[in-house]
Amino acid sequence: MSAKNILSEMQQEFVATQNLLEIIPEDRLDFKPHEKAMTLGQLAFHVAESPGRNLLFARDGHVEAAVITEHPIPSSKNNILEAFRKSTALAETILDDSNTDWISNNQWVLKASGNSIAEMPVIVYIRTFVLNHWYHHRGELTTYLRMLNVKLPSIYGPTADVNPFA
């Protein structure tokens, strides 16, 4: 998978993600469906910042475990939307670079206190922790929004609320 292909996939997903982030009810950012769950605001912020942030980790070739478990609490819906704008711009910059050999030629390492605890090819990290991880949390976000009776937009096809084929 080339940088160009990854970027093309991400750009399509940016649209669906933007549509979800725009419908987040600002007055419900503190909503939690379960005591162990992130708040709606934390989850939305995580979805917003994941593409660029996780690609940055991919390009760097490593990250500390403590960093990836941080889930900041946004101050507003606008804070979430601005994080997404910055994240998508960062992702596009990273993948549009003329030198993307790091994608196919390097290993990625997860560290804890400086010690390697997991290692994989960068391309596997990108598929698993940049793309699949992002889609997983975006799916969680649709569940939160459904629980709040927010009408869901189409992502990959019709929802109970929107049918792009009708």
Q: Does any domain span residue 128?
A: yes
| Domain enclosing residue 63, as ranges | 3-147
Residue 97: count other Cβ atoms within 10 Å of its Cβ.
12
Q: Judge whether 27 and 110 are in contact, CB under 8 Å.
A: no
Q: In this predicted structure, what is the pLDDT of residue 67? A: 83
The tens digit of pLDDT for each residue in 87-139 reads 999 999 999 877 788 888 789 999 998 899 999 999 999 999 999 999 999 99
Q: What is the CATH number of the domain that holds 123?
A: 1.20.120.450
The chain-wide mean pLDDT, for the chain, equals: 93
**Treating both helix axes as pointing N-terminal to C-terminal, what angle do 77-95 and 3-22 enclose, rounded to 10 degrees?**
170
Q: Does any domain span residue 25?
A: yes
pTM of the model: 0.93
Q: Does any domain span residue 16?
A: yes
**Helix, strand, or coil here: 117?**
strand
Residue 73 Rama label (left phi>0; alpha psi -120 to 50; beta): beta
Q: Does any domain span residue 140?
A: yes
Q: Does any domain span residue 119?
A: yes
Q: Does any domain span residue 87?
A: yes
Backbone angles phi, psi at 31, to 5 degrees: -65, 135
Q: How many domains does the chain have?
A: 1
